[in-house]
Amino acid sequence: MPVLITVAVALLALVCGAGTSWLPLLVVGPALAAATSGPWGVVRIGALAMALGAALGFRGGEPGGQQAILLATVAAVTLAGALAGALRRRRERVLADVRSVAEAAQHAVLKPVPETIGPFQAAVRYSAAAAEARIGGDFYALVPTPFGVRLIVGDVRGKGLPAVGVAAVVLAVFREAAYDEPDLLDVVHRIERSLARDLGPDDFVTAVLAGYPEADRMELINCGHAAPLLVRDADVLPVEPVRPAPPLGLRALAGEPPTVQDVLLADGDQLLFHTDGVTEARDHAREFYPLAERLARHVTKEPSGTLAALHEDLLRHVGGQLHDDAAMLLLRKPDRARDATNGPGPATGARPRAAGPTPAP
């Protein structure tokens, strides 16, 4: 583009035959090159502009003083552009190093979720609200343990680096306690004790923990978090807690201990865990994202495909840019006989239900 602009200006001056009146525009080429090229690229564009300016000025018989001023202007802009290009390249290298560190931090804090874990198919989708960020205040973890598959999905109050630090603490404690504690409630207690040392007086963490200790039974502990959505046959049901517990870090104020809720999982059932960045996303009319309705529309037998469709639909709803961190983790218990018969196509007939009995024994 800088070369094309420089040549176009020279051709314009040549065709119009207006002396050097168009030639000052030759500085546009080196100025633009400073934003797209390195210092040597800027120098080459500047040399081309100076050569064309000298040739056209000589051809038009312009006074030497005017030609000297023109060439000096192009040379000054070229030198300034070369310096700017060198500084930009240096900042780009620093930014690349920072991004590589951010990628490493993301993989250390938010580890990838396998496609299959224990008896489940699994998928996760995460979007940080901060521009260029890879991680925010929302978090998740899904791990196999001696006590079955266990997971946590949560949201730290606030945004930015402080929220990331708290999320890292919660995940580190969860991954250790999930392997050590036979009782899922003890995992929650371990996290509470750790947060008591790290949280500020106004901070808290909402989270839902789940464990699969035996066939067909999922344990849930909901600490002030958004209710998971259960996809069963033709229904999408919110799994509301029977006894709501306060968020992590606020138990001392509420005095209400968390309780374990059992959810029966049949073959083919799916369970979507999410954060409020999904359900509280608004469109231009300030309407919330209808997650249950859209899940019923996009659910398939492949969790990764379901979350990909939901994520694209969510971005369309908000106009392309989320304003809060958003995480979704989907588990599906395969139905071997039905999947073999019908193939991996969409699960049809699902519909959201705003109310109904909690799917517990």
Contacts of 170 (CB under 8 A, 6+ apart): 139, 152, 154, 156, 191, 194, 195, 205, 207, 248
pLDDT tens sequence across 314-354: 999 988 777 778 899 999 999 876 665 665 555 545 666 54
pLDDT exceeds 80 at position 30: no
pLDDT exceeds 90 at position 67: no
The amino acid sitting at 49 is A
Instruction: Extract the tokens encoding 200.
Output: 């500020």
281 φψ region: left (φ > 0), alpha (ψ -120 to 50), beta (else): beta
pLDDT exceeds 90 at position 6: no
CA angle 120, 121, 127 (to 5 degrees): 120
Q: How many residues does the chain have?
A: 361
* Site of tokens 């040379």: 75
What ranges make up the beta strands (E) of 225-293? 229-232, 235-238, 261-264, 270-274
pLDDT tens sequence across 262-287: 999 999 999 999 999 899 888 888 89
Nearest-angstrom CA–CA distance, 305 and 349: 17
Share of the chain above pLDDT 70, in %: 74
Q: Which of 111, 113, 118, 114 is nearest to 265 (CA)?
A: 118
Residue 339: how many other CB atoms lie within 10 Å: 16
